[in-house]
Structure 1
Amino acid sequence: MTTAYRAPAVRETGGSPSADIEELWARLGDIERRVRHAVALRQETDPEPNDPYRGQYLTPAAAERILDSRDAFLPVPAYGPDAAPDSPDSPAGGRIAALAQRFGLVAPDLDLLLVAMAPDIDARFERLYGYLNDDLTRRRATTGLALELCGLPAAGPGRFRFSPSAPLVVSGLVEVLEAERPLLSRVLRVPDRVTAHLLGDDAVDGRLHGLVRVAGPPEEPDPCPTTLRAAAALGTGSGLVHLLDRGGDPGRIAADALLAAGLRPLVVDAAALAAAPEPVRAARILATEARLTGGGLVLGPLETLAPEQPKGAGLIDGLCEAVGGGSPLIMYGKKHWDPLWAAESPVTVPVPPPDPADAARRWRRALTGAGAPAGLAAGTAAADARLVDATRAYRLDSGQIRRAAAVASRLAGLEGRPVEARDLRTAVRAQNGAGLARLARRIEPTVGWDDLVLPPSTRRQLSDLALRARHREQVLGRWRMRPGGGRGRGIVALFAGESGTGKTMSAEVVAADLGMELYVVDLSSVVDKYIGETEKNLERIFVEASDVNAVLLFDEADAVFGKRSQVKDAQDRHANVESAYLLQRIESFDGIAVLTTNLRANLDEAFTRRLDVVADFPVPDAEQRLALWERCLGTEIPRAPGLDLRTCAERFELTGGSIRACAVTAAYQAAESGRPLDTDQLVSAVLAEYRKLGRLVLDSEFGPWLERARR
């Protein structure tokens, strides 16, 4: 006897089930009628319908009945004249209709899906399916039972709807389990996420926890031309788009492009996907999630997946195949798309860096969102100008800006004042990853322009380096002053001079002026005796340095940037290859690099043409040495009344580094003697420095202090 299906009570804010759930209940009611009819037919032909142990063993009568049947080749009996009207040939609307459209399902596919899903919604179907399977332990629909309930012969074309390439299976809507069993006895399972979606749940699949997040809309719609172009590219074919990062914010642009197209952006963590236990399976789940909710996937940076390796390329190809044009897929990275990565080629859209005004707007929105008080977040013309000046040297994406704004807001809140430029600089430095720190020595600048004692010409060159770093996006980006030949947006400077003349300290001052950190490359960790390893080490340093807001310092650069020579043996050939690699790599570098050398003549002339700034550091004259003595001794150490710094500055030709060493040695002597620092202690320290450097000790320089020092 057929009865109407009674849906479980569903509590909602409106007090009644939604239209989507009502449609689902109506379809399950049709499935129930079919199950009732199948149970009745089974009881009519069952020789022992009341056997309590039915399904546990096979009786002779049951075996005879099985031998006499040819179910696979007979048409499935109809389930009564009134069974079909509630099962429409095509979905009318709602979530079921959207599901059919997004996954390319027809009416039989929907029936099979609902038959497989029924036990997950109503527990009664578990026991009924156990009875119909003739095995009370198998409480899900098998492929044979699903075909029977949907009126499809087991030997007909319906069985191919469970093949690996069928829409239900390839899209992940239905899982066919127990592959070792015959096809008709394999169990069907619908993932919980699919069931939850049809019941009205739009939360991301729990199996994707830590792999994907849903990007929200921006607080202020600000579609830039690149975003609009990326959105237009989504509708030019399969929806596969590659954003080529040229210093911009491709992740945010990809999400905005999907939002502009009316889609839900699902941002994938590329590192987490690559580290997943089964990344290819995770890619299929991602594709199913995107199609379920009518969203699009954002994946990047591609460099994280190492696409040049077979595993990384296979993962990209697997994701593209899983999506299959059913959902938009936007990938981004700094590398050009390689056709070997996937069977399909994307539409490539370059992403240039934002102009300073746009970057300032992002900073202000982030500061406001972080709850920062007035000041740089005020939104006035003066505040915007200060914000542009404070952030123009940085290259950050939207996520880094948001995190840095939160840190800056908390730093200012600790002191109960508005956010200042120094807070932003500290917060930006906190966004630098530890990758470069593993390859170079990290220095947080603690000196400023007032600590330098240099000739005016050298100071002008240092100021030129700083202003190039601050305005490079405007000059090289907006004004398109970058030359061709693959030249990057980096700034490369050479500091040439004797040891101790202030080259490293000047690099620290420039980094402090830009609000950045200084990373000193340890050449002992770079140069390798094995052929090709030095280039690999340098490549890792250049790649890491391009992603951080820092100044990269190659101290004693002539060790790796030396001149090319005439090839006489394999060693010369390798040295020339190394120099040629550096010539090309320094041109494509996008960061800020400083090379220092004691012997400028040892550098290859081809490097000089590629340098943006060349600063010479001469040995300081007498007036500069006097200023260095004053700065190195400071104001805390007690001085004797007769301390004659001018005489020391005029008599002893020392560099700044040597003067500092002498000042420290003299301070130790004063601390040991317990009396103020006097000229004798200072000259004694100079004498020790001369001997350390191997310089001649002349009477004309030391005069009467030489005899005192020998006593």
Structure 2
Amino acid sequence: MSDDGYPDSLTHLRDELARVYLLLRACVDPESDDGADCRREAQEMAVLIGKRVTASTVHFRLSALVDAFGLDTRQRDVVLLCLLAEVDSDSRRLVSDLTGGPLTVDLVLRAVVADLAGMPETWLVFAAEGPLVGDGLVIAEPSGALQLADRVTRHLLGSDLMDDQLVGIVRQAGQARCRADVLMPDHDRVAALCLLAAEREPAMLLLHGRPGTGRRTLAAATCEEAGVTLLVVDVRAALAGQWPDIVRLCYREARLRDAVICWHGVEPVINREHDHWTALAHAAATYPRLTLLIGDNEWDPPGASVGCPWLRVELGTPGFSERSRWWRSMLPPAEDFAAPAPDLDDVAATLAATFRLTPGQISAAIGSATGLARLRAPGPARLTTADLQEACRRQCGRGLVAFARRMPPCAGLTLDDLVLPARGRRQLTELATRIAARGRVVDELGFGVRLGQGTGVLALFTGVPGTGKTTAARLLAAGLGVDLHRVDLAAIVSKYVGETEKNLDQIFEDAERTNAMLFFDEADALFAKRGEVRESRDRWANVEMAFLLQRVEEFSGVVILATNLRQNVEPALLRRLHAVVDFPLPDAESRRRIWRGMFPEPVTPPDPAELAELAERFPISGGDIRNVVMDAAFRVLGTDRNATTIGLRDLVVSVGREYRKLGLAVTPADFGEQFHEWVTQDLLAVDEHPMVDVSGDNSGRWPCTETS
């Protein structure tokens, strides 16, 4: 045997197998000269192997296995004998001659601990808590048969394939999406985490926070910067098997790879029976590396159930500065955007202010936006800001289905299309600015420290029906690029005590998670004035209102309330409002703009002078004007496929219909002689006389019922 160093791990393993083969041959006739010669030759080989190992610079898998599991020389030789019986046919025949079957515990003990024959220490080699059996390196059958675990065999022979029993449960983490200091700006804490990951001492660290806050990414980035492999275990998948066995196999895999092990989704373990946590804590306390736990909520182990240091790190809800930094670090380069390329710093700041996304959601949103760009046109994907906004809305669109409904945006319209007096328009513009700048003012500039709670925006829209309150809310949400959800009051209010409060709490929690803007229409029904307590239901109604006021104040998002009856709203709500926008009935000039803006391009409306006459004569709201135009459109355009013109007479008749629907009198004083005559001929006269053709030809008319 040469004194030069080993060229690779496999050559070293061959020499070690040759050495233990001599120990096996010595068992044929241990008292003979041949047996003594074999043992002496094995000792000499051990010395030479040690010299070659010292002269080598390569990594030896056998040596690493010995160090990882803390094997002594006898336990190491047990592993080698088991491996020899697996890979060498001559050794298998020799074993069969000695035992009449497979390798046995008795034969192994005679080969490797012959000097301890008959002593109690002999059986410590296979102690249940020892590394050979306890860590699952060898499998000892009740019959005495002994076999090396398949995963250990493959490892020693150079394979890094995952254990078959852990497929679908454990995976090796890939490259982190970003650096650890991007997720955690506290450089001292990042350095401490990296040091903890690199240490060879048992410790347990719980990373907790809402899903998507970057817990797994932080774990991967920390281990990457510490130069350590990370194994991630899916706890829910692991619980489908035998938990103690899975825990043992996971830590065996971690030792083989010299890895930090991370248990993701640990709540089912810490919330189950005590035995589940005990098995995990015991394995972690005996593993000389960091064990990471990832969960949603903060938690501390009961009593002294952890035999190693226990630490907790929370990844809280990110502020504006953190979101801006994440967006800027994850956005593709400017050349991946459609021309003209936007300023990426502005894009990052706008998206961070609009959407309260976690790092995981930001990464998913960018991937989704890239997919949208690819579907839009062939060739390389060219992103737009609209793609990113739509992808963010999709990330936020999960939830709120039980108590709210998403309102579609007003296609092709902006706040500039909303007809309001100058004061109301200025209030809406200021409200939009407040919502858009909320992240920078509250988080980046530090006003959030002064505010404490109440970092959200609460606005009240007041005015008679049809003045544009709902439309303004939809346009406001669309301009900011977020979804608007109308709260379903019927689904929220419950006759059972306490259920309404639970439903309200759920909708606010969902809205914070999904970045939705909440819209309470007819808000006076829910935010009504508190009254004097005369009976028990009055007391519960007041408790409900108190909870609602408290929850609204704590909400960090945007809430829009709309009411026709401002005087009925609880006065305590007014202090909590950040903006009150009045929507008065439009004046004549505003009505003229509304009339003119109601007609799409393919339709020919009356001339501007006629529309001005309608606006001057009929003091109705914008919602009423919409109803009038739609009624005329269906009557005129719906009966003639070639028609594209709506005349003045058609609109006047529809105004008459709207007046009657609202309970208003249709008089010559209000309509004028000409308009009243049209309404009388086309509406009132028809209503007074059934549409019956005395000639018997009723084609094209509504059928009538004969009466005797």
TM-score w.r.t. structure 2 length? Answer: 0.75
* Separation (CA, whole Å) in 1 of partners of 2:185 and 2:663: 64
Structure 2 letter corresponding to 1:36: R
The answer for the alignment partner of 1:688 in structure 2 is: 657
The answer as to whether partners of 1:269 and 1:299 remain within 8 angstroms in 2 is: yes
Would you say 1:295 and 2:295 are equivalent positions? no
Would you say 1:34 and 2:18 are equivalent positions? no
The partner residue of 1:389 within 339, 345, 350 is 350
The answer for the alignment partner of 1:337 in structure 2 is: 299
Alignment map for 1:599-678 (pairs within 5 Å): 599-641=565-607, 644-672=610-638, 674=640, 676-678=645-647
* Separation (CA, whole Å) in 2 of partners of 1:510 and 1:264: 48
- Deviations 1:375-419 (Å, cap 9, x if unpaired)? 5878xxx44334533554233344433443344345445446843
The answer as to whether partners of 1:258 and 1:296 remain within 8 angstroms in 2 is: yes
The answer for the alignment partner of 2:192 in structure 1 is: 232
* Separation (CA, whole Å) in 1 of partners of 2:391 and 2:470: 24
The answer as to whether partners of 1:280 and 1:318 remain within 8 angstroms in 2 is: yes
Q: 1:528 to 1:299 in 2, by over 3 A?
A: farther
The answer for the alignment partner of 2:696 in structure 1 is: none
The answer for the alignment partner of 2:487 in structure 1 is: 521
Q: 1:339 to 1:518 in 2, by over 3 A?
A: farther
Shifted more, 84-93 versus 541-550: the winner is 84-93
Q: What SS does structure 2 have at the residue aligned with 1:482? A: helix
Would you say 1:707 and 2:680 are equivalent positions? yes
Structure 1 letter corresponding to 2:513: D
Q: What SS does structure 2 have at the residue aligned with 1:628? A: helix
The answer as to whether partners of 2:181 and 2:187 remain within 8 angstroms in 1 is: no
* Separation (CA, whole Å) in 2 of partners of 1:648 and 1:492: 37
The answer as to whether partners of 1:500 and 1:655 remain within 8 angstroms in 2 is: yes
- Deviations 1:155-182 (Å, cap 9, x if unpaired)? 8355456565444455454556x6xx4x
Pairwise CA distance, 1:190: 1.8
Would you say 1:255 and 2:246 are equivalent positions? no
Structure 1 letter corresponding to 2:615: A
Q: What SS does structure 1 have at the residue aligned with 2:467? A: coil
* Separation (CA, whole Å) in 1 of partners of 2:303 and 2:392: 34
The answer for the alignment partner of 2:519 in structure 1 is: 553
Would you say 1:209 and 2:168 are equivalent positions? yes
Q: 1:584 to 1:235 in 2, by over 3 A?
A: farther
Would you say 1:346 and 2:311 are equivalent positions? yes
Alignment map for 1:390-405 (pairs within 5 Å): 390-405=351-366
Pairwise CA distance, 1:323: 3.0
* Separation (CA, whole Å) in 1 of partners of 2:247 and 2:528: 47
* Separation (CA, whole Å) in 2 of partners of 1:252 and 1:147: 47
Structure 1 letter corresponding to 2:9: D
Pairwise CA distance, 1:670: 1.4
Q: What SS does structure 2 have at the residue aligned with 1:36? A: helix
Q: Which structure 2 segments of 5+ residues have no match?
A: 686-708
* Separation (CA, whole Å) in 1 of partners of 2:540 and 2:680: 55
* Separation (CA, whole Å) in 1 of partners of 2:303 and 2:174: 26
Structure 1 letter corresponding to 2:10: I
Q: 1:219 to 1:253 in 2, by over 3 A?
A: closer
Pairwise CA distance, 1:214: 1.2
Q: 1:43 to 1:220 in 2, by over 3 A?
A: same
The share of aligned pairs that are identical, in percent, is: 33
The answer for the alignment partner of 1:21 in structure 2 is: 10
Pairwise CA distance, 1:342: 9.9
Pairwise CA distance, 1:644: 3.0
* Separation (CA, whole Å) in 1 of partners of 2:90 and 2:499: 67
Alignment map for 1:487-526 (pairs within 5 Å): 487=453, 490-526=456-492
Pairwise CA distance, 1:356: 5.1
The partner residue of 1:241 within 188, 191, 205 is 205
Pairwise CA distance, 1:229: 0.9
Structure 1 letter corresponding to 2:312: V
Pairwise CA distance, 1:581: 4.2
Would you say 1:441 and 2:405 are equivalent positions? yes
Task: Report the aligned-residue RMSD.
Answer: 4.6
Structure 1 letter corresponding to 2:612: R
* Separation (CA, whole Å) in 1 of partners of 2:125 and 2:522: 69
Q: 1:96 to 1:548 in 2, by over 3 A?
A: farther
The answer as to whether partners of 1:428 and 1:549 remain within 8 angstroms in 2 is: no
Q: 1:457 to 1:34 in 2, by over 3 A?
A: farther
The partner residue of 1:323 within 284, 297, 301 is 284
Pairwise CA distance, 1:509: 1.9
TM-score w.r.t. structure 1 length? Answer: 0.75
Q: What SS does structure 1 have at the residue aligned with 2:475? A: helix
* Separation (CA, whole Å) in 1 of partners of 2:118 and 2:530: 77
The answer as to whether partners of 2:232 and 2:261 remain within 8 angstroms in 1 is: yes
The answer as to whether partners of 2:26 and 2:111 remain within 8 angstroms in 1 is: no
The answer as to whether partners of 1:231 and 1:260 remain within 8 angstroms in 2 is: no
Pairwise CA distance, 1:665: 1.5
Q: What SS does structure 2 have at the residue aligned with 1:434? A: coil
* Separation (CA, whole Å) in 1 of partners of 2:616 and 2:303: 68
The answer as to whether partners of 1:551 and 1:593 remain within 8 angstroms in 2 is: yes
Structure 2 letter corresponding to 1:29: A
Q: 1:640 to 1:423 in 2, by over 3 A?
A: same
Would you say 1:430 and 2:394 are equivalent positions? yes
Alignment map for 1:254-273 (pairs within 5 Å): 254-267=219-232, 273=237
* Separation (CA, whole Å) in 2 of partners of 1:687 and 1:314: 78
Q: What SS does structure 2 have at the residue aligned with 1:500? A: coil
Q: 1:551 to 1:569 in 2, by over 3 A?
A: same
* Separation (CA, whole Å) in 2 of partners of 1:43 and 1:537: 86
- Deviations 1:189-211 (Å, cap 9, x if unpaired)? 5252x444444444555524365
Pairwise CA distance, 1:433: 5.5
The answer as to whether partners of 1:230 and 1:241 remain within 8 angstroms in 2 is: no
Would you say 1:421 and 2:385 are equivalent positions? yes
The answer for the alignment partner of 2:444 in structure 1 is: 478
Structure 2 letter corresponding to 1:214: A
Q: What SS does structure 2 have at the residue aligned with 1:430? A: helix
- Deviations 1:577-627 (Å, cap 9, x if unpaired)? 544444444444444443444444555445444444443433433333332
* Separation (CA, whole Å) in 1 of partners of 2:29 and 2:341: 74
Aligned residues: 648
* Separation (CA, whole Å) in 2 of partners of 1:318 and 1:532: 40
Pairwise CA distance, 1:575: 4.1
Structure 2 letter corresponding to 1:631: G
Q: Which structure 1 segments of 5+ residues have no match?
A: 5-15, 45-76
- Deviations 1:487-541 (Å, cap 9, x if unpaired)? 3754444434444333333232222222222333333333344444444444443
* Separation (CA, whole Å) in 2 of partners of 1:600 and 1:341: 56
Pairwise CA distance, 1:216: 0.4
Q: What SS does structure 2 have at the residue aligned with 1:367? A: coil
* Separation (CA, whole Å) in 2 of partners of 1:694 and 1:341: 74
The partner residue of 2:336 within 350, 368, 372 is 372
Q: 1:377 to 1:437 in 2, by over 3 A?
A: farther
* Separation (CA, whole Å) in 2 of partners of 1:503 and 1:341: 57
